Amino acid sequence: MAEKTKRPNVLRKYEDLLSGMDPLRPMGRVVQITGMSIISEGPPEVSVGDLCRVKLGKSGDYLNCEAIGFQNNHLVLTPLGPTAGVYPDAQVLGTGRQLSMPVSDELLGRVSDGLGRPLDNRPPEISRDHR
């Protein structure tokens, strides 16, 4: 009888990342940009400190933002990158989480910016642990 060998699940870390996503999260919309603040109507259930994503123009990319306050029933966001491409009524998605970055022993010796994005021309760190 052949002995069964246990193979490592190389997709496990990606399965863990996908399990925390909610594809049916409600959306909001951009109503104003003033200086370095984006004012949006929604999305609901966003708290101060939560990350949101604003859809950019034709590229289809998203701009990460942090909810920093509320003003007249609107959400005040601070962009974590350039605002070029943000347009009136652009979709705003709540992520349901706060800013964090992956942490593991693989991070030792790496160079990253304040948002955890690599600056050393190596692929981004993927880890189950975030802080």
CATH of the domain at 85: 2.40.10.170
| Domain match, 75 and 107 both | no
Tokens in use for 66? 């942090």
Q: How big is the CA angle at 72 (ends 66 and 74), to the nearest 5 degrees?
A: 35
53 pLDDT band, cuts 50/70/90, is very high
| Domain match, 88 and 51 both | yes
Collapsing DSSP to helix, strand or coil, 50 comes out as: strand
- Mean pLDDT, residues 19-24 taken together: 64
Assigned domain for 2 exists? no
45: Cβ contacts below 8 Å, ≥ 6 apart: 26, 94, 96
pLDDT at 86 over 70: yes
Enumerate the β-bridge partners of residue 51. Answer: 66
| Domain match, 59 and 115 both | no
| Domain match, 73 and 57 both | yes
Q: What is the pTM of this model?
A: 0.69
What separation in angstroms does the CA of 87 have from each of 8, 22, 54, 74, 93?
A: 45, 25, 9, 17, 15
Spatial distance between the Cα atoms of 120 and 32, rounded to a whole number of angstroms: 36
| Domain match, 71 and 120 both | no
Domain, as residue range, for 105: 100-131
pLDDT at 16 over 80: no
pLDDT of residue 44: 86
pLDDT of residue 74: 94
Assigned domain for 40 exists? yes
| Domain match, 40 and 86 both | yes
pLDDT at 102 over 80: no
pLDDT of residue 3: 54
pLDDT of residue 69: 94
| Domain match, 72 and 41 both | yes
Maximum alpha-carbon separation in the chain: 72
pLDDT at 10 over 80: no
| Domain match, 89 and 51 both | yes
Spatial distance between the Cα atoms of 7 and 14, rounded to a whole number of angstroms: 16
pLDDT at 63 over 90: yes
pLDDT of residue 108: 81
Total domains present in the chain? 2
Spatial distance between the Cα atoms of 37 and 1, rounded to a whole number of angstroms: 67
Pick left, alpha or beta for residue 31 (phi over 0 → left; psi -120 to 50 → alpha; otherwise beta).
alpha
